[in-house]
Structure 1
Amino acid sequence: MRKTLLAAALAVFGTTVVAPAASAAPLDWGPCPAGAFPTPDLQCTTMKVPLDYRNPDGRTIDVAVSRLPSKNPEKRRGVLLTNPGGPGGEGLDYPQLLKLVKLPQSVLDEYDIIGFDPRGVGHSTPVTCDLTLEQMMIGNLPYANGPADVVKQAAVAKAEAKQCADAGTGPMLPYVTTANTARDMDRIRAALGESTVSYLGASYGTYLGAVYTSMFPERSDRFVLDSNLGPGGYDIDAMRNFGRGMEDRFPDFAKFAAAHPEYGLGTTPARVTAKFHELAARLDRKPVEGITGSLFRGLTFEGLYSTNLKPLAENWQALDQGRAPKTPGLTPDDSAENLFAARFAVLCGDSSWPRSVAGYQVDVAIDRIRYPLLGAATANIAACAFWPSAPVEPKVRITDRGPANVLMVQNERDPGTPLAGARKLRAAFGDRARMVTIDQGGHGAYLFGPNGCGNTTVTEFLVSGSRPAHDRYCAAENR
């Protein structure tokens, strides 16, 4: 049964009432700002949205939107909103990136592909925490070798939280949340003149899509969620689950490195694993070009996102020989500060986080044993423990209420969004969803992985609406 927006809002948020979607003026498309790579096919614009949807006539902020139009009006079905993940990641040029990685022509014909920088990010009204280069170099995963390291990190986290609150954009931070970004998406839908939207979201974008289709089920068409967070989004459980994800994925790398003795990392997976721990300890004692053991762990974790493990092996080899890796990816650029700030805003604004330093010390001790590769980092304390304000509204609950229009696609050994979290989201959706699980590693299944079974299943759903009658398992290919 269709519900009014007011009734749906009450069902999702209890007593929290938000404004209904306003009728929006048509968007005025023009050229896109310069980005990471050329966007010759994209059109861009900026629209106004309320900072606080409970006060729709109050302050507004900008949301930057892009469009890759279908060139086949006879086949065009509607619009496909997209999000590449994050939180804090820009999405304005994502439609162009999807085209570059060979989004099938049938999908490009079927939809106008829509990208956007989420509120607080990039070309949308951005937030800042005035973070220093040193703070950003610590990253999100500082490894704690013992209780004293948690206390040390607590001081860093407390300073970061205060900087965020004291920065010029501090008043924005409580409203840079997943629920408000979902409301922005519905404003984009209205401005495009569409009654419904389809969606393709990856990583954090799966949670954003899950929230949107839970808040606005009647406005949701075909939803693809690729590399799935659990139903709680990026809460403390998801952060600690990174440790599990690395344990799931690392054996693929250990096997690869052992099969390539030219890297000198060990002739068996067990010896490669031992090399990991030896290198981490050595770099803690004597960093190479500023790369500590903690940063080495983070570099390895990020390298496991890719289906191509050769660059990670080359980086290990360089560090083992006392040289800086060729592609460390560890020096923040100008956009990194905004990414960190927006990430803090969403993580701390979506969920309530534990505040006891002693509690984090216990979690670190547990996860160092449970997930020895990375657990003492992913259980460590961060800025949300000292965030100055509680979430402004309850978290959106993901349930089975709504149309059966969700297709989840998931790598079996994903380090960033492990299969365990995806299974919880699948259970929360019930019959609303089907899940395609692929026997491959890495973060990102659709298009970014070589599995034909998984890619074909997603494309067929987007183009025809055909969805598997039951959850599907795709065997490994090209291994």
Structure 2
Amino acid sequence: MTGFRSVSAGAALTLTVGLLGPPAAAAAAPSAISWAPCPTYSAEALHAMVPPDKLTRFAELLARLECGTVAVPLDYRAPHGRLITVALTRLKAQDQAHRLGSLALNPGGPGGSGYLMPVQLLTMGEATGIDKRYDLIGFDPRGVGYSTAVDCPPPARDPGPEPAGPLTKEAARRTYDAQVQDNAACGRSDPAFLSRLTTADVARDLDRIRSGLRERKLNFLGISWGTWLGAVYRSEFPDRVGRMFLDSVAIPRFTLPAFENGRAAAAERNALRMAAWIAERDDVYGFGRTAGRVRAAIIALRTDYDAHPRRFTDVPEPLDGDLVAVSASQDAPVWPLAAKVMAELRDATGPAAPPTVKEVVGDPGAPAEPPADLPEQSNRTMNRAAFCNEDPARLDFEADWAGYRQRLADNPMTGLNHSFSAGCAGWPLPVQPVRLRPGTSSLVLSGHKFETPSPYEWTGQTQAIVGGRVYTVRDDVHGSVLQVPGCAADLVTYFDTGRIDGGCAGVPVPTGTDEPAVRSLSRTGTGSWS
């Protein structure tokens, strides 16, 4: 994730990081923020960032926003060496007389831009009043957006499209070899900078922001990968944290295989919930009247499309079992659309694709060129570096292929949704593991009972290491707390008072078969935490 997701969209990482140096050495002298005029945006950029009905509010908040930069060491082991800049924003509290402090925000990633998050949160979220007593602080992590960043060179070669049907070992090896070559070229393109794109370094930058704001303690709200950043910050600077709320908690002991396997298992579990929902509506979808029968029907449909990919005259590529697996992997708000897609795939006779299938997978045409002044939403180089600098796995092909095949066997409905990837194999820079530590500052770990990108069990695993209180959201939608009024109200109350109950209902499961406004199916797979 970078930025806010719609609650109807589908949509993290952990690590063992040994400190590069003691936190006291990293914090040296107080930081200074250089405040400057904020960027201005064209009408085209504004329309790309926000729905039309939100534009007036968005513009009002932009007018209140303050923008600046703070200089930080590229390498905190050499604090007097090369400096880079981290860009930040501040939206001051409305009630300065009763101000509670600064609240830093991170939307996820790694590589997501949080620069405009104060404005986005108040425009498109439900956390009404969060800015009454807090200054809201946005920032672009190093490697992203308005902060110092680099982009790796484009891939040297393309392994080519995979043929329809099950992935063969030969095709997987071509993909693996191409990605290993790409990882190696990326890591060697600017090793001094790329090796310092770590969560621990971003956490140290965040403490420089705290220092520049002249805050004794910093409050923090993180989503998805932002929960990992928050946990690392609290581990490294335990006495500098006020209140912290982490929504959709990341895996606390990271390897990329454990990350992928956890998400794959969670997707299969949630697909069983979808199967039960479809069974209750057998008169509409016709897959069976029990969850077991629906599950068997979905597996049979995926198997049939893998064995006999379908070609339709009005969609660009043949369709195989991958589309069935993606459909079965959707969050609850998208179940009516996904169930209809699977029913149309089952009943399709051709030569044209069924209408909903065509709508979901049809050729969208060339993407529109984004406005030149549209701020970067996410940085893929930062995403790759933050993952790979902290991933100790870096599997060879045979181990990677075996793991992929096992995921398919363990998750017959949804396993194909998680594509084969070389992961961090070939990344030439040394592993920099992080180890979380317990703390005593106020912490809420918000876990979603049924979600896929951050499986609920990671919340309890994190609590066992760092402490804090678990807040359970009874939905399957990644990072939804800010989008649901009751849940967002609990979050605001927590930051105002330090008190919170045990959870909220989250995004409701559809009661009928009305399809959502979103007309696409989202994939959760390797390459992004959120």
Query: TM class, shorter-chain normalised?
Result: 0.7 to 0.9
Report the equivalent of 1:446: 481
Q: Distance in 2 between matches of 1:105 and 1:305?
A: 25
Q: How many residues align?
A: 455
| 1:92–1:116 CA contact under 8 A, matched in 2 | yes
Moved more, 343-352 or 22-31: 22-31
Residue 447 of structure 1, CA deviation: 2.3
Report the equivalent of 2:26: 20
| 2:159–2:178 CA contact under 8 A, matched in 1 | no
- Deviation string 1:132-171 (CA, Å, 9 cap, x unpaired) is 59969989xx99735434323211221220331354x454
Alignment CA distance shift 1:444-1:183 (3 Å): same
- Deviation string 1:276-299 (CA, Å, 9 cap, x unpaired) is 625862795648434764863785
Pairwise mapping of residues 92-241 of structure 1 onto structure 2 (< 5 A)? 92-131=115-154, 145-167=167-189, 169-233=190-254, 235-241=256-262
SS at match of 1:386: coil
- Deviation string 1:316-362 (CA, Å, 9 cap, x unpaired) is 67876355435889988879996332211000012212332111122
Q: Which runs of 5 or more structure 2 residues have no equivalent in the other structure?
A: 1-15, 510-530
SS at match of 2:243: strand
Report the equivalent of 1:462: 495
| 2:73–2:82 CA contact under 8 A, matched in 1 | yes
One-letter amino acid of the counterpart of residue 436, structure 1 = Y
- Deviation string 1:333-392 (CA, Å, 9 cap, x unpaired) is 87999633221100001221233211112212222222224446648442411101112x
Alignment CA distance shift 1:473-1:81 (3 Å): closer
Report the equivalent of 1:398: 436
Alignment CA distance shift 1:90-1:475 (3 Å): closer
Q: Does 1:281 align with 2:317?
A: no
| 2:302–2:321 CA contact under 8 A, matched in 1 | no
Alignment CA distance shift 1:110-1:317 (3 Å): farther
One-letter amino acid of the counterpart of residue 429, structure 2 = S
For 1:296, which of 298, 323, 331 is the aligned residue?
323
SS at match of 1:368: helix
Q: Which runs of 5 or more structure 1 residues have no equivalent in the other structure?
A: 1-10
Q: Distance in 1 between matches of 2:88 and 2:325?
A: 32
Alignment CA distance shift 1:282-1:84 (3 Å): farther
| 1:365–1:376 CA contact under 8 A, matched in 2 | no
Report the equivalent of 1:414: 451
Alignment CA distance shift 1:14-1:46 (3 Å): closer
Residue 93 of structure 1, CA deviation: 1.8
Q: Distance in 1 between matches of 2:90 and 2:337?
A: 33
| 2:252–2:462 CA contact under 8 A, matched in 1 | yes
- Deviation string 1:87-141 (CA, Å, 9 cap, x unpaired) is 12221122222112344333211211111121111222223223359969989xx
One-letter amino acid of the counterpart of residue 152, structure 2 = C
Q: Distance in 2 between matches of 1:153 and 1:107?
A: 46
Larger radius of gyration between Structure 1 and Structure 2: 2
Q: Does 1:71 align with 2:94?
A: yes
Residue 250 of structure 1, CA deviation: 2.1
For 1:32, which of 26, 31, 39 is the aligned residue?
39
Q: Does 1:341 align with 2:366?
A: no
| 1:17–1:54 CA contact under 8 A, matched in 2 | no
Report the equivalent of 1:45: 68
Alignment CA distance shift 1:255-1:15 (3 Å): closer
- Deviation string 1:394-453 (CA, Å, 9 cap, x unpaired) is x232222x2241101111011100112222112112xx3010112222112312246x3x
Alignment CA distance shift 1:94-1:105 (3 Å): same
One-letter amino acid of the counterpart of residue 76, structure 1 = R
| 1:79–1:112 CA contact under 8 A, matched in 2 | yes
Q: Distance in 1 between matches of 2:26 and 2:72?
A: 12
Residue 176 of structure 1, CA deviation: 0.6
Residue 252 of structure 1, CA deviation: 3.8
Residue 74 of structure 1, CA deviation: 2.2
SS at match of 2:359: coil
- Deviation string 1:198-243 (CA, Å, 9 cap, x unpaired) is 1111111111100001101100000001001121256431122120
Report the equivalent of 1:433: 468
For 1:325, which of 359, 369, 372 is the aligned residue?
359
One-letter amino acid of the counterpart of residue 89, structure 2 = S
Given the two structures, how large is their TM-score scaled by the length of structure 1? 0.81
Moved more, 189-198 or 34-43: 34-43
- Deviation string 1:235-280 (CA, Å, 9 cap, x unpaired) is 4311221201211322344445555679857455544634762586
| 1:344–1:383 CA contact under 8 A, matched in 2 | no
Q: Distance in 2 between matches of 1:58 and 1:143?
A: 53
Alignment CA distance shift 1:241-1:336 (3 Å): farther
Q: Distance in 1 between matches of 2:469 and 2:161?
A: 39
Alignment CA distance shift 1:63-1:295 (3 Å): farther
SS at match of 1:385: coil
Q: Distance in 2 between matches of 1:285 and 1:108?
A: 53
- Deviation string 1:58-81 (CA, Å, 9 cap, x unpaired) is 222222212222111123211111
Q: Distance in 2 between matches of 1:337 and 1:95?
A: 14
Higher RCO (CA < 8 A, seq sep 6+) = 2
For 2:78, which of 51, 55, 69 is the aligned residue?
55
